[in-house]
């Protein structure tokens, strides 16, 4: 045996994957190509999202030490801003996660950040809103303002948007009194969980176009330019240092 193994019954046993879904199959691993993603695999101790593992470990240690149960807990308060707040400049919601939370919880978290002079960003969500049209975008910007977000991220990794339209988004966000933070890059499909082969199949955009877009965003009042690493240093076989150098030479990283 080599590597990590698990119970074969999950695949081969009664009512396993083969029995219920796929039927019998055999894999010739010598023909499966790159195993790039395996190098980025994390073995989780607990059945929960990877970034929550340390929090779960801590909670279980406290439970063991103090003998309480989950039913005894009404609320958990995290004092990270009290201890390390001076080193935090922006809190970013990942993947539109705020849209799944109760409004009161979002407002409380934003208010907590502001109490410690930490700005709050929407993260990459506007590309989801864009497909519903102009009125939805206007409503999104207005709601972000009412919730007291500081920054609206302008990303388009999964949809194709003309340069002028992206720049108009920056102008609109700034006109609403919020800080626009556009994302530029050369990799279509960036921001997901695609492997190297999948991203290579999508192809790369023109670095000169990305640099020109970044300049236009800055001229339109962008608070900051975020450069997408996928296609440059992330999920590539070799780093595209030439692209990074082009951004540096054009000084788009200077705010």
Domains of the chain, start order: 30-41+80-249 (3.20.20.70)
Question: What would the DSSP string read from start to end of 140-174?
Answer: HHHHHHHTT-SEEEE--SSS---HHHHHHHHHHHH
Reported pTM: 0.70
Kindly give, in sequence order, each residue whose CB lies less than 8 Å from that of residue 178, ignoring residues fewer than 6 positions away: 141, 144, 145, 149, 150, 151, 152
Kindly state the greatest CA–CA separation across the chain.
63
**94 neighbors 123 (Cβ within 8 angstroms):** yes
Write the pLDDT tens digit of every residue in 183-227.
Answer: 998 887 666 556 777 777 777 888 999 999 999 999 999 999 998
Could you tell me which residues are beta bridge partners of residue 184?
227
Task: Compute the distance between CA of residue 135 and CA of residue 132 in angstroms, rounded to an integer.
Answer: 8
pLDDT the model gives residue 163:
92
Whether residue 251 is predicted with pLDDT greater than 70 in this model: the reply is no
pLDDT confidence of residue 156 = 77
Cα(118)–Cα(103) distance, integer angstroms: 19
How much is the average pLDDT of 241-253?
79
Strand order in the sheet with 90-92: 90-92, 119-121, 151-154, 179-184, 226-227
Close Cβ partners of 86 (under 8 Å, ≥ 6 residues apart): none
Q: What is the pLDDT of residue 11?
A: 80
Whether 114 contacts 88, CB under 8 Å? no
Weakest-pLDDT range from 5-14, 64-73, 163-172: 5-14
pLDDT at 98: 93
CA distances 84 to 81, 119, 143, 168, Å, are 5, 15, 29, 37
What is the reported pLDDT for 70? 79
Comparing 6-20, 93-107, 151-165, 232-246, the range with the smallest average pLDDT is 6-20
* pLDDT at 37 (0 to 100): 66
Beta-ladder partners of 204: 187
């Amino acid at each position: 045996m080599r590597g990590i193994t698990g119970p074969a019954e999950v695949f081969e046993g009664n009512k396993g994957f083969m029995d219920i879904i796929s039927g019998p199959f055999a894999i010739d691993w010598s023909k499966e190509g790159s195993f790039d993603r395996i190098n980025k695999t994390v073995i989780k101790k607990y059945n929960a999202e990877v970034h929550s593992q340390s929090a779960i470990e801590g909670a279980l240690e406290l439970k063991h030490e103090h003998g309480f149960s989950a039913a005894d807990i009404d609320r958990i308060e995290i004092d990270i801003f009290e201890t390390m707040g001076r080193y935090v400049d922006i809190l970013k919601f990942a993947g539109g996660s705020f849209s799944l939370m109760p409004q009161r919880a979002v407002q409380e978290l934003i208010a907590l950040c502001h109490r410690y002079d930490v700005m709050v960003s929407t993260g990459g969500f506007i590309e989801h809103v864009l497909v519903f049209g102009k009125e939805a975008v206007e409503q999104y910007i207005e709601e972000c303002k009412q919730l007291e977000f500081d920054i609206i991220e302008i990303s388009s990794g999964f949809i194709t948007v003309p340069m002028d339209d992206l720049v108009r988004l920056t102008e609109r966000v700034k006109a609403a009194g919020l800080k626009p933070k556009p994302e530029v890059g050369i990799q279509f499909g960036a921001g997901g969980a695609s492997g190297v082969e999948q991203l290579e199949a999508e192809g790369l955009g023109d670095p000169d176009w990305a640099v020109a877009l970044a300049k236009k965003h800055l001229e339109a009042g962008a608070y900051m330019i975020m450069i997408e690493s996928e296609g440059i240093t992330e999920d590539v076989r070799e780093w595209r240092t030439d692209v990074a150098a082009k951004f540096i030479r054009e000084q788009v990283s200077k705010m």
